[in-house]
Amino acid sequence: MEGLPLKPSGDRRRQPAVWLAILLATAAVTPLAAAEPAVSARDAGWLAAFRRSREALVWSDLAIRHDWRLQRNARDGRCRILDPADRTVQAGTEAECRRGFMRLEADGTIPPQDGPTVVLLHGLGEGRDSMRPLAEHLRAAVEATVVCFGYASVSAELDDHSRGLAAVVAGLPRTGPISFVGHSLGNLVVRRWMALADQDELDRVHRVVMLGPPNQGSQLARMAAGIWGISRHVEGSARELVYDWARVAPGLAVPPCDFGIVAGGKGDEAGYSLLLEGDDDAIVCVEETRLEGARDFLLVPVHHAAMMENPAVQRATEAFLQTGRFPAAGTPR
């Protein structure tokens, strides 16, 4: 199968202590207040971004067309339709919202979609916004519809996320191949979906790019498991990484298509974190990213949370989607 045709064409640092704080905070996600206090115009943008980041922890996508999406709340089952500006245009049961989504497609409000699709998946404790820099780069670089799959990473388990991804994939037009780009936990969601998917669905998959994937589990998560009292505060996918990896790992498929791995690290034995052994991106060790069968591997000097904004990572992702190989720049190992 040919690659995706090319179009002409801040480094955030999150240390392990912050990642552990994400784990500890997973049980503390509370419903949004019914009403927000009055805010100045200057603060409105920040408040909107904060609201989206909190909502990302409890809402998962069931259908996506461009930047339109149908979502379900992982805690109470409510559903809603969001427009490209993340405004709710309908709320109700899943059946009601599916009918509404179909009406919006039928009347042309939601534009048609065909050809290749690239699905981006964020990591633990993040939301769709974290993938935006990479999504914008790919939209300008490849002839494909680029969509970001959002899932309630800390409110539900991998099986729940894989079922949501299955619903999204099943609803995508069958007029072109599908590729995936996952960051961190997002790669485990893809691998779990692949383990459960029918062959017809797997045959649609073209390529997979893994960014900082904990393919061999997480040393950091194992450290978290030793913290007294943490078990009371960890749920969903975070609990699976911390306590249930031995159960989860056998249920993760090796992609049956071309896949490449981008790891962050310094290229030495120290890495970015003083807490982790060996080279690392401050969250995931380089050796933890490896998975037998990868067609290519690339080491980039970048922190885990900054991958989507890093130009080298963006170019590497673009190149692999197009050619099945990473560019020569970087450190293949």
* Cβ–Cβ under 8 Å, residues 235 and 173: no
Pairing of strands 59-65, 68-73: antiparallel
Cα torsion through 148, 323, 163, 170, rounded to 10: 90
Question: Dmax of the chain from CA atoms?
Answer: 58
> Does residue 38 register a pLDDT over 60?
no
User: Binning pLDDT at 50, 70 and 90, where does residue 19 land?
Assistant: very low
pLDDT exceeds cutoff 70 at 44? no
Q: What is the pLDDT of residue 262?
A: 98
Q: What is the pLDDT of residues 52-86, one digit of tens each?
A: 556 668 899 999 999 999 999 998 999 999 999 99
Size of the chain, expressed as the number of residues it contains: 333
pTM to 2 decimal places: 0.83
Pairing of strands 117-121, 178-183: parallel
Report whether pLDDT(288) > 90.
yes
C-beta of residue 67 within 8 angstroms of C-beta of residue 143: no
Note whether 267 and 331 are within 8 A (CB).
yes
Question: pLDDT tens, 191-224?
Answer: 999 999 999 999 999 999 999 999 998 887 776 6
Q: What is the mean pLDDT of residues 129-135?
A: 96
Share of the chain above pLDDT 70, in %: 75
Q: What are the domain boundaries of the chain?
A: 114-323
Please work out, in degrees rounded to the nearest 5, the angle formed at the alpha carbon of residue 107 by the alpha carbons of 101 and 111: 75
Token readout for 48 is: 């909107």
Is residue 265 very low, low, confident or very high in pLDDT (cuts 50, 70, 90)? Answer: very high
**Which CATH number is correct for 114-323, 3.40.350.10, 3.40.50.280, 3.40.50.1820, 3.40.50.1370?**
3.40.50.1820
CA pair distance 221, 152, nearest whole angstrom = 19
> What are the C-alpha distances in Å from 136 to residues 8, 132, 185, 314, 330?
14, 6, 21, 10, 22
Per-residue pLDDT for 50 more than 80?
Answer: no
pLDDT at 8 over 60: no
